Chain A
Amino acid sequence: MTAALMLELRDLSKSFELHHQHGARLNVLRGIDLRLHAGECVVLSGPSGAGKSTLLRVIYANYRPSFGAVHVRHDERWIDLAKATPHEVLEVRRRTLAYVSQFLRVIPRVPALDIVAEPLLQMGVDEPEARRRAGDLLRRLNVPERLWALPPSTFSGGEQQRVNIARGLIARRPILLLDEPTASLDVENRNVVAQLLAEARADGSAVLGIFHDEDMRDRVATRLFPMQALEAA
Protein backbone atom coordinates (compact mmCIF):
# COMPACT_ATOMS: atom_id res chain seq x y z
CA MET A 1 0.00 0.00 0.00
CA THR A 2 1.35 3.41 -0.85
CA ALA A 3 1.33 6.06 1.86
CA ALA A 4 -1.38 8.70 1.73
CA LEU A 5 -0.65 12.00 0.03
CA MET A 6 -0.88 14.72 2.71
CA LEU A 7 0.32 17.91 1.03
CA GLU A 8 0.56 18.93 -2.59
CA LEU A 9 2.01 22.21 -3.87
CA ARG A 10 1.18 23.10 -7.45
CA ASP A 11 3.01 25.78 -9.41
CA LEU A 12 3.53 27.82 -6.26
CA SER A 13 5.05 31.29 -6.56
CA LYS A 14 5.71 34.02 -4.04
CA SER A 15 6.92 37.55 -4.55
CA PHE A 16 6.93 40.46 -2.15
CA GLU A 17 5.89 43.89 -3.35
CA LEU A 18 7.44 46.60 -1.20
CA HIS A 19 5.29 49.68 -1.62
CA HIS A 20 7.61 51.92 0.36
CA GLN A 21 10.80 50.83 -1.41
CA HIS A 22 9.83 52.42 -4.73
CA GLY A 23 7.53 49.50 -5.44
CA ALA A 24 10.41 47.03 -5.48
CA ARG A 25 9.39 43.46 -6.21
CA LEU A 26 11.22 40.48 -4.73
CA ASN A 27 10.61 37.16 -6.45
CA VAL A 28 11.42 34.42 -3.99
CA LEU A 29 9.57 31.30 -5.19
CA ARG A 30 8.54 30.37 -8.71
CA GLY A 31 6.66 27.32 -9.99
CA ILE A 32 7.22 25.04 -7.00
CA ASP A 33 5.65 21.57 -7.29
CA LEU A 34 5.97 19.28 -4.30
CA ARG A 35 4.16 16.21 -2.96
CA LEU A 36 4.50 15.05 0.63
CA HIS A 37 3.23 11.68 1.86
CA ALA A 38 2.42 10.31 5.31
CA GLY A 39 5.53 8.91 7.01
CA GLU A 40 7.97 10.87 4.82
CA CYS A 41 10.52 13.45 5.94
CA VAL A 42 11.41 15.74 3.06
CA VAL A 43 14.25 18.15 3.77
CA LEU A 44 14.52 21.39 1.80
CA SER A 45 18.10 21.92 0.74
CA GLY A 46 19.89 24.78 -0.95
CA PRO A 47 21.88 27.92 -0.13
CA SER A 48 20.48 30.64 2.10
CA GLY A 49 18.32 32.95 0.04
CA ALA A 50 16.84 30.00 -1.88
CA GLY A 51 13.45 30.61 -0.27
CA LYS A 52 13.31 27.57 2.03
CA SER A 53 11.86 29.41 5.02
CA THR A 54 9.54 31.38 2.75
CA LEU A 55 8.19 28.13 1.34
CA LEU A 56 7.39 26.78 4.81
CA ARG A 57 5.68 30.05 5.74
CA VAL A 58 3.59 30.02 2.56
CA ILE A 59 2.48 26.46 3.33
CA TYR A 60 1.54 27.48 6.89
CA ALA A 61 -0.41 30.42 5.37
CA ASN A 62 1.75 32.84 7.31
CA TYR A 63 2.60 34.31 3.89
CA ARG A 64 0.08 34.56 1.07
CA PRO A 65 1.12 32.82 -2.13
CA SER A 66 1.20 35.07 -5.19
CA PHE A 67 0.19 32.21 -7.46
CA GLY A 68 -0.50 28.48 -7.27
CA ALA A 69 -2.11 26.10 -4.82
CA VAL A 70 -1.34 24.64 -1.38
CA HIS A 71 -3.52 21.53 -1.09
CA VAL A 72 -3.66 20.07 2.40
CA ARG A 73 -5.44 16.89 3.44
CA HIS A 74 -7.57 17.98 6.37
CA ASP A 75 -9.54 15.13 7.91
CA GLU A 76 -10.64 13.34 4.76
CA ARG A 77 -11.05 16.32 2.50
CA TRP A 78 -8.67 18.57 0.60
CA ILE A 79 -8.39 22.28 1.30
CA ASP A 80 -6.42 24.76 -0.82
CA LEU A 81 -4.92 27.10 1.77
CA ALA A 82 -4.26 29.67 -0.94
CA LYS A 83 -8.02 30.12 -1.22
CA ALA A 84 -9.19 29.18 2.28
CA THR A 85 -10.96 31.62 4.59
CA PRO A 86 -9.12 32.69 7.77
CA HIS A 87 -11.44 30.48 9.84
CA GLU A 88 -10.61 27.47 7.67
CA VAL A 89 -6.88 28.17 7.96
CA LEU A 90 -7.17 28.37 11.75
CA GLU A 91 -9.01 25.04 11.82
CA VAL A 92 -6.33 23.40 9.63
CA ARG A 93 -3.61 24.80 11.92
CA ARG A 94 -5.40 23.57 15.02
CA ARG A 95 -5.72 19.96 13.92
CA THR A 96 -3.62 19.23 10.84
CA LEU A 97 -0.67 21.55 10.34
CA ALA A 98 2.08 22.33 12.87
CA TYR A 99 4.89 24.82 12.32
CA VAL A 100 8.01 25.02 14.45
CA SER A 101 10.21 28.01 13.79
CA GLN A 102 13.72 28.59 14.97
CA PHE A 103 12.55 31.00 17.64
CA LEU A 104 9.95 30.77 20.32
CA ARG A 105 7.56 33.70 20.17
CA VAL A 106 7.32 34.30 23.87
CA ILE A 107 4.04 35.11 25.50
CA PRO A 108 4.73 37.24 28.58
CA ARG A 109 4.14 35.57 31.94
CA VAL A 110 2.93 32.21 30.60
CA PRO A 111 4.83 29.26 32.18
CA ALA A 112 6.74 26.88 29.89
CA LEU A 113 4.52 23.94 30.84
CA ASP A 114 1.36 25.81 29.80
CA ILE A 115 2.94 26.94 26.52
CA VAL A 116 3.67 23.31 25.66
CA ALA A 117 0.25 22.03 26.84
CA GLU A 118 -1.76 24.67 24.94
CA PRO A 119 -2.07 22.85 21.56
CA LEU A 120 -3.52 19.83 23.37
CA LEU A 121 -6.04 21.99 25.24
CA GLN A 122 -7.09 23.53 21.92
CA MET A 123 -7.76 20.03 20.63
CA GLY A 124 -10.01 19.31 23.59
CA VAL A 125 -7.67 17.25 25.82
CA ASP A 126 -8.48 17.90 29.49
CA GLU A 127 -6.07 20.01 31.51
CA PRO A 128 -4.44 17.45 33.87
CA GLU A 129 -3.79 15.09 30.94
CA ALA A 130 -2.41 17.93 28.76
CA ARG A 131 -0.07 19.08 31.52
CA ARG A 132 1.08 15.54 32.24
CA ARG A 133 1.95 14.95 28.59
CA ALA A 134 3.64 18.36 28.37
CA GLY A 135 5.77 17.42 31.38
CA ASP A 136 6.71 14.05 29.84
CA LEU A 137 7.84 15.72 26.63
CA LEU A 138 9.82 18.47 28.40
CA ARG A 139 11.51 15.77 30.48
CA ARG A 140 12.49 13.85 27.36
CA LEU A 141 13.91 17.05 25.90
CA ASN A 142 15.97 17.56 29.07
CA VAL A 143 14.27 20.78 30.15
CA PRO A 144 14.79 20.71 33.94
CA GLU A 145 11.59 20.47 35.97
CA ARG A 146 12.45 23.55 38.03
CA LEU A 147 11.97 25.64 34.85
CA TRP A 148 8.51 24.36 33.93
CA ALA A 149 6.62 26.88 36.06
CA LEU A 150 8.63 29.82 34.66
CA PRO A 151 7.97 31.84 31.50
CA PRO A 152 10.64 30.93 28.93
CA SER A 153 11.69 34.55 28.26
CA THR A 154 14.57 34.09 30.71
CA PHE A 155 15.66 30.68 29.36
CA SER A 156 18.80 30.06 27.29
CA GLY A 157 18.41 29.88 23.49
CA GLY A 158 18.67 26.09 23.54
CA GLU A 159 16.08 25.75 26.30
CA GLN A 160 13.65 28.06 24.48
CA GLN A 161 14.13 26.05 21.32
CA ARG A 162 13.31 22.82 23.14
CA VAL A 163 10.15 24.38 24.61
CA ASN A 164 9.26 25.43 21.07
CA ILE A 165 9.83 21.92 19.68
CA ALA A 166 7.77 20.40 22.49
CA ARG A 167 4.92 22.80 21.72
CA GLY A 168 5.14 21.95 18.02
CA LEU A 169 5.27 18.17 18.42
CA ILE A 170 3.01 17.53 21.38
CA ALA A 171 -0.29 17.39 19.50
CA ARG A 172 0.97 14.98 16.80
CA ARG A 173 -0.58 16.83 13.93
CA PRO A 174 -0.44 14.96 10.60
CA ILE A 175 1.81 17.53 8.86
CA LEU A 176 4.87 19.05 10.53
CA LEU A 177 6.74 22.04 9.12
CA LEU A 178 10.12 22.54 10.79
CA ASP A 179 12.35 25.56 10.21
CA GLU A 180 15.77 24.73 11.69
CA PRO A 181 14.37 23.48 14.96
CA THR A 182 17.72 22.09 16.09
CA ALA A 183 19.98 25.04 15.25
CA SER A 184 21.05 25.81 18.83
CA LEU A 185 20.84 22.33 20.34
CA ASP A 186 23.69 20.16 21.58
CA VAL A 187 24.29 16.64 20.26
CA GLU A 188 22.33 14.92 23.01
CA ASN A 189 19.23 17.00 22.39
CA ARG A 190 19.53 16.69 18.63
CA ASN A 191 19.40 12.95 19.16
CA VAL A 192 16.20 13.34 21.15
CA VAL A 193 14.65 15.45 18.38
CA ALA A 194 15.68 12.93 15.72
CA GLN A 195 14.07 10.22 17.83
CA LEU A 196 10.85 12.24 18.27
CA LEU A 197 10.65 12.85 14.52
CA ALA A 198 11.13 9.13 13.81
CA GLU A 199 8.25 8.39 16.21
CA ALA A 200 6.03 11.01 14.59
CA ARG A 201 6.73 9.50 11.15
CA ALA A 202 6.08 5.97 12.37
CA ASP A 203 2.80 7.36 13.66
CA GLY A 204 1.94 8.57 10.14
CA SER A 205 2.97 12.22 10.31
CA ALA A 206 4.47 13.82 7.21
CA VAL A 207 7.46 16.07 7.87
CA LEU A 208 8.82 18.92 5.74
CA GLY A 209 11.81 20.65 7.23
CA ILE A 210 14.98 22.70 6.98
CA PHE A 211 18.08 21.29 8.69
CA HIS A 212 21.38 22.95 7.90
CA ASP A 213 23.39 20.50 9.95
CA GLU A 214 24.35 17.72 7.50
CA ASP A 215 24.56 15.01 10.11
CA MET A 216 21.04 15.83 11.33
CA ARG A 217 19.77 16.04 7.76
CA ASP A 218 21.16 12.60 6.90
CA ARG A 219 19.57 11.13 10.00
CA VAL A 220 16.05 12.46 9.49
CA ALA A 221 15.57 12.89 5.73
CA THR A 222 13.89 10.28 3.58
CA ARG A 223 14.35 12.54 0.55
CA LEU A 224 15.85 15.95 -0.28
CA PHE A 225 14.06 18.71 -2.15
CA PRO A 226 16.70 20.96 -3.72
CA MET A 227 15.97 24.68 -4.07
CA GLN A 228 17.85 27.51 -5.75
CA ALA A 229 17.71 31.27 -5.45
CA LEU A 230 15.87 32.96 -8.32
CA GLU A 231 17.70 35.52 -10.41
CA ALA A 232 16.72 39.07 -9.50
CA ALA A 233 13.73 39.98 -11.66
Chain B
Amino acid sequence: MSALLQVRGVSRHYGPRIGCEDVSFELHPGELLCIVGESGSGKSTLLNTVAAQLSPTAGSVRYRQRNGGWLDLAALSEADRRRLAREEWGFVTQNPRDGLRLNVSAGANVAERLMALGMRNYSQLRAIARGWLERVEIDPSRIDDAPTSFSGGMQQRLQIARTLVTQPRLVFMDEPTAGLDVSVQARILDLLRRLVNELGLAAVMVTHDLAVARLLAARTLVMQGGRVVETGLTDQILDDPQHPYTQLLVSSVLTT
Protein backbone atom coordinates (compact mmCIF):
# COMPACT_ATOMS: atom_id res chain seq x y z
CA MET B 1 0.00 0.00 0.00
CA SER B 2 1.23 3.45 -0.85
CA ALA B 3 1.65 6.15 1.79
CA LEU B 4 -0.57 9.21 2.01
CA LEU B 5 1.95 11.36 3.81
CA GLN B 6 5.72 11.11 3.76
CA VAL B 7 7.78 13.02 6.32
CA ARG B 8 11.56 12.98 5.78
CA GLY B 9 14.15 14.43 8.14
CA VAL B 10 11.92 17.28 9.29
CA SER B 11 13.38 19.82 11.72
CA ARG B 12 11.87 23.03 12.97
CA HIS B 13 14.00 25.39 15.02
CA TYR B 14 12.96 28.57 16.82
CA GLY B 15 16.14 30.59 16.49
CA PRO B 16 18.75 28.54 18.35
CA ARG B 17 16.10 26.50 20.14
CA ILE B 18 15.03 23.09 18.79
CA GLY B 19 11.30 22.53 18.29
CA CYS B 20 11.67 19.19 16.56
CA GLU B 21 14.72 17.59 14.99
CA ASP B 22 15.19 15.10 12.14
CA VAL B 23 11.79 13.40 12.26
CA SER B 24 10.76 10.89 9.60
CA PHE B 25 7.57 8.84 9.29
CA GLU B 26 4.96 7.70 6.82
CA LEU B 27 1.21 7.63 7.21
CA HIS B 28 -0.98 5.23 5.24
CA PRO B 29 -4.59 5.82 4.17
CA GLY B 30 -7.06 4.89 6.90
CA GLU B 31 -4.42 4.89 9.60
CA LEU B 32 -4.34 6.83 12.87
CA LEU B 33 -0.87 7.62 14.21
CA CYS B 34 -0.31 9.05 17.70
CA ILE B 35 2.58 11.30 18.70
CA VAL B 36 3.16 11.03 22.45
CA GLY B 37 5.54 12.77 24.84
CA GLU B 38 5.51 15.25 27.68
CA SER B 39 4.88 18.97 27.26
CA GLY B 40 7.82 20.61 25.57
CA SER B 41 8.83 17.43 23.75
CA GLY B 42 8.06 18.99 20.36
CA LYS B 43 4.83 17.14 19.56
CA SER B 44 2.78 20.17 18.60
CA THR B 45 5.66 21.75 16.68
CA LEU B 46 5.97 18.56 14.67
CA LEU B 47 2.21 18.42 14.04
CA ASN B 48 2.06 22.05 12.93
CA THR B 49 5.08 21.61 10.68
CA VAL B 50 3.68 18.49 9.04
CA ALA B 51 0.31 20.24 8.59
CA ALA B 52 2.10 23.10 6.81
CA GLN B 53 1.17 25.63 9.47
CA LEU B 54 4.85 26.12 10.26
CA SER B 55 7.58 25.87 7.65
CA PRO B 56 10.31 23.32 8.32
CA THR B 57 13.89 24.48 8.95
CA ALA B 58 15.06 21.31 7.20
CA GLY B 59 13.55 18.20 5.62
CA SER B 60 10.51 17.62 3.47
CA VAL B 61 6.83 16.74 3.80
CA ARG B 62 5.11 15.14 0.83
CA TYR B 63 1.38 14.48 0.47
CA ARG B 64 -0.25 12.19 -2.07
CA GLN B 65 -3.28 13.86 -3.68
CA ARG B 66 -6.56 12.24 -4.70
CA ASN B 67 -5.26 12.03 -8.27
CA GLY B 68 -2.25 10.01 -7.06
CA GLY B 69 0.35 12.71 -7.61
CA TRP B 70 2.80 13.73 -4.87
CA LEU B 71 2.83 17.30 -3.58
CA ASP B 72 5.90 18.74 -1.91
CA LEU B 73 4.41 21.04 0.71
CA ALA B 74 7.39 23.38 0.76
CA ALA B 75 6.90 24.08 -2.93
CA LEU B 76 3.24 25.06 -2.55
CA SER B 77 2.00 28.61 -2.83
CA GLU B 78 0.04 30.00 0.10
CA ALA B 79 -3.15 29.77 -1.98
CA ASP B 80 -2.55 26.08 -2.78
CA ARG B 81 -1.84 25.36 0.85
CA ARG B 82 -5.14 26.97 1.83
CA ARG B 83 -6.95 24.97 -0.86
CA LEU B 84 -5.46 21.75 0.50
CA ALA B 85 -6.47 22.64 4.07
CA ARG B 86 -9.98 23.43 2.86
CA GLU B 87 -10.57 20.55 0.46
CA GLU B 88 -8.55 17.57 1.61
CA TRP B 89 -7.43 18.15 5.22
CA GLY B 90 -8.91 18.94 8.59
CA PHE B 91 -7.38 20.29 11.79
CA VAL B 92 -8.82 19.81 15.29
CA THR B 93 -7.31 22.09 17.91
CA GLN B 94 -6.96 21.38 21.62
CA ASN B 95 -9.10 24.36 22.56
CA PRO B 96 -12.32 24.15 20.52
CA ARG B 97 -12.62 27.95 20.74
CA ASP B 98 -9.58 28.17 18.45
CA GLY B 99 -11.19 25.96 15.82
CA LEU B 100 -14.78 27.25 15.96
CA ARG B 101 -16.33 30.55 14.92
CA LEU B 102 -17.89 31.64 18.17
CA ASN B 103 -20.10 34.42 16.80
CA VAL B 104 -22.11 32.22 14.43
CA SER B 105 -24.54 29.38 15.17
CA ALA B 106 -23.60 25.71 15.63
CA GLY B 107 -25.26 24.90 12.31
CA ALA B 108 -23.28 27.61 10.50
CA ASN B 109 -20.07 26.28 12.04
CA VAL B 110 -20.73 22.87 10.54
CA ALA B 111 -21.93 24.25 7.18
CA GLU B 112 -19.12 26.75 6.70
CA ARG B 113 -16.52 24.34 5.34
CA LEU B 114 -19.09 22.91 2.92
CA MET B 115 -19.90 26.41 1.71
CA ALA B 116 -16.20 27.01 1.18
CA LEU B 117 -16.31 24.01 -1.18
CA GLY B 118 -19.10 25.67 -3.14
CA MET B 119 -22.25 24.13 -1.70
CA ARG B 120 -24.97 26.79 -1.67
CA ASN B 121 -28.36 25.12 -1.19
CA TYR B 122 -29.55 26.37 2.22
CA SER B 123 -31.95 23.56 3.06
CA GLN B 124 -29.39 20.96 2.01
CA LEU B 125 -26.68 22.59 4.14
CA ARG B 126 -29.04 22.71 7.07
CA ALA B 127 -29.99 19.06 6.68
CA ILE B 128 -26.32 18.00 6.56
CA ALA B 129 -25.50 20.17 9.60
CA ARG B 130 -28.38 18.60 11.50
CA GLY B 131 -27.19 15.12 10.55
CA TRP B 132 -23.68 15.88 11.77
CA LEU B 133 -24.88 17.34 15.07
CA GLU B 134 -26.69 14.07 15.66
CA ARG B 135 -23.66 12.10 14.64
CA VAL B 136 -21.54 13.83 17.30
CA GLU B 137 -24.38 13.48 19.80
CA ILE B 138 -25.46 17.12 19.98
CA ASP B 139 -29.23 17.64 20.15
CA PRO B 140 -30.11 18.96 16.65
CA SER B 141 -32.58 21.41 18.23
CA ARG B 142 -29.46 23.37 19.30
CA ILE B 143 -28.61 24.05 15.64
CA ASP B 144 -29.29 27.80 15.90
CA ASP B 145 -27.52 28.27 19.24
CA ALA B 146 -24.11 29.88 19.45
CA PRO B 147 -21.26 27.56 20.51
CA THR B 148 -20.56 29.90 23.44
CA SER B 149 -23.67 28.44 25.08
CA PHE B 150 -22.19 24.89 24.80
CA SER B 151 -20.14 23.01 27.39
CA GLY B 152 -16.45 22.35 26.62
CA GLY B 153 -17.20 18.75 25.62
CA MET B 154 -20.01 19.85 23.29
CA GLN B 155 -17.78 22.51 21.74
CA GLN B 156 -15.15 19.87 21.05
CA ARG B 157 -17.73 17.59 19.45
CA LEU B 158 -18.95 20.51 17.37
CA GLN B 159 -15.40 21.21 16.22
CA ILE B 160 -15.07 17.54 15.20
CA ALA B 161 -18.32 17.77 13.19
CA ARG B 162 -17.15 21.00 11.57
CA THR B 163 -13.86 19.38 10.59
CA LEU B 164 -15.17 16.04 9.36
CA VAL B 165 -18.24 17.27 7.48
CA THR B 166 -16.20 17.72 4.29
CA GLN B 167 -14.93 14.12 4.57
CA PRO B 168 -11.26 15.11 4.61
CA ARG B 169 -8.69 12.47 3.66
CA LEU B 170 -6.28 13.54 6.38
CA VAL B 171 -6.96 15.05 9.79
CA PHE B 172 -4.50 16.57 12.25
CA MET B 173 -5.52 16.63 15.91
CA ASP B 174 -3.71 18.42 18.71
CA GLU B 175 -4.68 17.00 22.14
CA PRO B 176 -8.41 16.91 21.27
CA THR B 177 -9.39 15.48 24.65
CA ALA B 178 -7.01 17.31 26.99
CA GLY B 179 -8.70 19.59 29.47
CA LEU B 180 -11.99 17.68 29.39
CA ASP B 181 -13.58 15.62 32.17
CA VAL B 182 -12.76 11.92 31.99
CA SER B 183 -16.35 10.90 31.16
CA VAL B 184 -16.48 13.51 28.38
CA GLN B 185 -13.09 12.30 27.12
CA ALA B 186 -14.31 8.70 26.81
CA ARG B 187 -17.29 9.88 24.78
CA ILE B 188 -15.13 11.88 22.37
CA LEU B 189 -12.56 9.11 22.00
CA ASP B 190 -15.26 6.59 21.21
CA LEU B 191 -16.75 9.02 18.71
CA LEU B 192 -13.39 9.60 17.02
CA ARG B 193 -12.69 5.90 16.90
CA ARG B 194 -16.03 5.24 15.22
CA LEU B 195 -15.75 8.12 12.74
CA VAL B 196 -12.19 7.24 11.75
CA ASN B 197 -13.36 3.68 11.01
CA GLU B 198 -16.53 4.71 9.19
CA LEU B 199 -14.95 7.40 7.05
CA GLY B 200 -11.67 5.54 6.50
CA LEU B 201 -9.72 8.74 7.10
CA ALA B 202 -6.08 9.01 8.05
CA ALA B 203 -5.12 11.04 11.10
CA VAL B 204 -2.13 12.23 13.07
CA MET B 205 -2.96 12.91 16.71
CA VAL B 206 -0.83 14.52 19.36
CA THR B 207 -1.51 13.40 22.91
CA HIS B 208 0.33 13.22 26.22
CA ASP B 209 -2.04 10.44 27.29
CA LEU B 210 -0.76 6.92 26.60
CA ALA B 211 -4.21 5.42 27.20
CA VAL B 212 -5.55 7.54 24.34
CA ALA B 213 -2.83 6.21 22.05
CA ARG B 214 -3.61 2.61 23.07
CA LEU B 215 -7.30 3.09 22.34
CA LEU B 216 -7.04 4.85 18.99
CA ALA B 217 -3.72 4.34 17.28
CA ALA B 218 -2.19 1.21 15.78
CA ARG B 219 1.17 3.01 15.58
CA THR B 220 2.83 5.56 17.84
CA LEU B 221 5.84 7.89 17.83
CA VAL B 222 7.41 8.76 21.19
CA MET B 223 9.14 12.15 21.36
CA GLN B 224 11.61 13.57 23.82
CA GLY B 225 13.49 16.84 23.51
CA GLY B 226 12.30 17.34 19.92
CA ARG B 227 13.45 13.93 18.69
CA VAL B 228 11.63 10.67 18.07
CA VAL B 229 13.14 8.20 20.55
CA GLU B 230 10.93 5.22 19.77
CA THR B 231 8.42 4.28 17.10
CA GLY B 232 6.35 1.22 16.24
CA LEU B 233 3.17 -0.63 17.12
CA THR B 234 1.36 1.12 19.96
CA ASP B 235 0.78 -2.02 22.00
CA GLN B 236 4.43 -3.03 21.59
CA ILE B 237 5.68 0.38 22.71
CA LEU B 238 3.40 0.40 25.76
CA ASP B 239 3.88 -3.25 26.79
CA ASP B 240 7.56 -3.67 25.90
CA PRO B 241 9.12 -0.20 25.80
CA GLN B 242 12.79 -0.23 24.77
CA HIS B 243 14.01 3.33 25.26
CA PRO B 244 14.72 4.55 28.81
CA TYR B 245 12.43 7.56 28.32
CA THR B 246 9.52 5.40 27.06
CA GLN B 247 10.03 3.02 29.99
CA LEU B 248 9.80 6.01 32.32
CA LEU B 249 6.64 7.31 30.62
CA VAL B 250 4.93 3.92 30.70
CA SER B 251 5.88 3.21 34.31
CA SER B 252 4.62 6.64 35.38
CA VAL B 253 1.04 6.00 34.25
CA LEU B 254 -1.38 5.65 37.13
CA THR B 255 -3.55 2.57 36.80
CA THR B 256 -6.85 2.17 38.55
Point out the residues of chain A lying under 8 angstroms from B218, CB to CB: 86, 90
Selecting from B50-58, B108-116, B163-171, B233-241, the interface stretch reads B233-241
- Contact: A63 with B236, CB < 8 Å? yes
Does A110 make an interface contact (CB < 8 A)?
yes
Instruction: Name the interface residues of B220-256: CB closer than 8 Å to any CB of A.
Output: 232-233, 235-236, 239-240, 242-244, 247-248, 251
CB nearest to A91 among chain B residues: B1
CB distance from B68 to the nearest CB of A (A): 20
CB nearest to B190 among chain A residues: A109
CB distance from B200 to the nearest CB of A (A): 12
Q: A108 contacts which of B190, B240, B243 (Cβ < 8 Å)?
A: B190
What is the bound-complex CA distance between A20 and B247, given in angstroms? Answer: 8
- Contact: B28 with A87, CB < 8 Å? yes
Does A187 make an interface contact (CB < 8 A)?
no
Does A1 make an interface contact (CB < 8 A)?
no
What is the bound-complex CA distance between A227 and B131, given in angstroms? Answer: 57
Point out the residues of chain A lying under 8 angstroms from B1, CB to CB: 87
- Contact: B189 with A108, CB < 8 Å? yes
Does A16 make an interface contact (CB < 8 A)?
yes
Interface string of B193-217 (1 = CB under 8 A from A): 1000100000000000000000100
Instruction: Give the total number of A-B pairs whose CB atoms are below 8 A apart.
Output: 47
Total residues of chain A contacting the partner, CB 8 A: 19
- Contact: A62 with B240, CB < 8 Å? yes
Interface string of A15-48 (1 = CB under 8 A from B): 0111110000000000000000000000000000
Point out the residues of chain A lying under 8 angstroms from B243, CB to CB: 19
Does A194 make an interface contact (CB < 8 A)?
no
Q: A110 contacts which of B28, B190, B232, B235 (Cβ < 8 Å)?
A: B190
A-B pairs with beta carbons under 8 Å apart, 29 shown:
A16-B240, A19-B243, A19-B244, A19-B247, A20-B244, A20-B247, A20-B248, A57-B239, A61-B233, A61-B236, A62-B233, A62-B235, A62-B236, A62-B239, A63-B236, A63-B239, A63-B240, A64-B236, A64-B240, A64-B242, A86-B232, A86-B233, A89-B233, A90-B218, A90-B233, A107-B190, A107-B215, A109-B186, A109-B190
A57-B240, A107-B193 are known; give 13 further A-B pairs, CB within 8 A: A16-B240, A19-B244, A57-B239, A61-B233, A62-B233, A62-B239, A62-B240, A63-B239, A64-B242, A87-B28, A107-B190, A108-B190, A110-B190
Q: 3 closest Cβ contacts across the A-B interface?
A: A19-B244, A108-B186, A63-B240
